[in-house]
Amino acid sequence: MRIKIILFMGWLIKKHEASLTPFGIYPGARSLEEHIRNGIIILDKPSGPTSNQVDRWIKDILEIKKCSHGGTLDPRASGVLVIALENTTKLMPILLSSKKEYAGIIHLHDKVEKKKIEKAFKDFVGKVKQIPPKKSAVARKEREREVYYLELLELKERNILFKVGCEAGFYVRRLADDLGKKLGTGAHLQELRRTKSGNFSEESTITLQDLVDAKEENRLKEVILPMELVAETTRKIIISDNAINNICNGAPLAVGGIIKFEDNIKKGELVSLFSLKGELVAIGKALMNSEMILNKKRGLAVKTDRVLMKKGTYFI
């Protein structure tokens, strides 16, 4: 007899089960120490310091040993810089690959009609080949990145106010140079601000001063967000309490340990494993797609890559 499968708001339910064990804790109920250890900061980076300098300042403010940013911003650029604290640095594969959005000003070296600029913009949407700038930290070999949209917001004399949504690793300064060449005038990037990184936008950012004030006023839980929010850009799988201890020891996830999962999981993609209490347990590579997970009674569904939960948290 085939098991009845229920699709609810994008979730496929494998079996009905609740967390009845005393183990684990809801993310919002973590102690301040654990909240920081498993937290992120959505910072509004100012123009001037390097992203690495910002990391050092945050370590000093919070008196922690480790933090890292997801996607470097040039010293002259400002905007959304996601900072992973302590344990959350294990989520760098998600943060570094997240989509980005920027707003900025490109200064043309000569006047160009708006229609001509708009026509040129269309050539920079889709798969775009770039050679990284000389000062970049990667090899200067031609590579391809996707631009999802490129909008001309305003043209004032020789200054173009624009917005661009792109794949991680796309160089906006190179876009300005290439646009200038295409228009035959030359151009350079005058100002740049990151407005989105993954599912985080500038509306949710805080400043370094906000962080200092929150620490002095014992409000750090208000400005440091739980690491679980980083995983919102991945497909999620909810696992049973009985499966968690094995996952924490690096074992792969078998289909028998799955309670429910999001639809449209693709084989080979990065997925996030959550407890029934909403804790991020680990991230890993899907060994099955959604249909296989749904229909298989045995087999390995996910190869565990990075474990976020402490060993022994669910010792059943």
Per-residue pLDDT tens digits for 58-73: 999 999 999 999 999 9
* Element (DSSP H or E) covering residue 306: strand 300-307
Per-residue pLDDT tens digits for 240-282: 999 999 999 999 999 999 999 999 999 999 999 999 999 999 9
Contact status, residue 62 vs residue 36, Cβ threshold 8 Å? yes
Out of 2.60.40.10, 3.30.2350.10, 3.40.50.2000, 3.40.50.10880, which CATH number does the structure's domain 31-96+200-226 have? Answer: 3.30.2350.10
- Specify the DSSP class assigned to residue 293: H
Reply yes or no on whether the pLDDT at 3 is more than 60: no
User: What pLDDT score was predicted for residue 136?
Assistant: 63
Per-residue pLDDT tens digits for 202-241: 999 999 999 999 999 999 999 999 999 999 999 999 999 9
User: What pLDDT score was predicted for residue 135?
Assistant: 65
Look up residue 174 and give its two tokens. Answer: 């190179």
Contact status, residue 206 vs residue 7, Cβ threshold 8 Å? no
Q: How far is CA 243 from the centre of its chain?
A: 26
User: What pLDDT score was predicted for residue 83?
Assistant: 98
**Pairing label, strands 67-69, 159-166:** unpaired
In residues, how long is the chain?
316
Q: How far apart are CA 166 and CA 174, in angstroms?
A: 13
User: pTM to 2 decimals?
Assistant: 0.91
Domain 6-28+234-307 has CATH 1.10.10.350: no
Q: What are phi and psi of 208, to 5 degrees?
A: -60, -35
Three-state DSSP state, 122: helix
How much is the average pLDDT of 121-134?
Answer: 90
Q: How far apart are the first and last CA of the chain?
A: 31
- Specify the DSSP class assigned to residue 206: B
Instruction: Name the average pLDDT for the chain.
Output: 94
User: What pLDDT score was predicted for residue 4?
Assistant: 43
Query: For residue 240, which of 3, 6, 21 has the smallest C-alpha distance?
Result: 21
Geometric angle at alpha carbon 119, from 113 and 124, rounded to 5°: 125
Catalytic residue set: 74
Out of 3.30.70.3190, 3.40.50.460, 3.30.1490.20, 3.40.50.2020, which CATH number does the structure's domain 99-192 have? Answer: 3.30.70.3190
Contact status, residue 39 vs residue 87, Cβ threshold 8 Å? no
Look up residue 115 and give its two tokens. Answer: 């229609």
Task: Kindly report the number of other CB atoms within 10 A of residue 43's CB atom.
Answer: 26
How much is the average pLDDT of 302-310?
Answer: 98
Q: How far apart are CA 241 and CA 277, in angstroms?
A: 9
Query: For residue 178, which of 150, 219, 207, 199 has the smallest C-alpha distance?
Result: 150
pLDDT above 70 covers a percentage of the chain that reads: 95
- Residue intervals in the chain for CATH 3.30.2350.10: 31-96+200-226
How much is the average pLDDT of 185-203?
Answer: 97
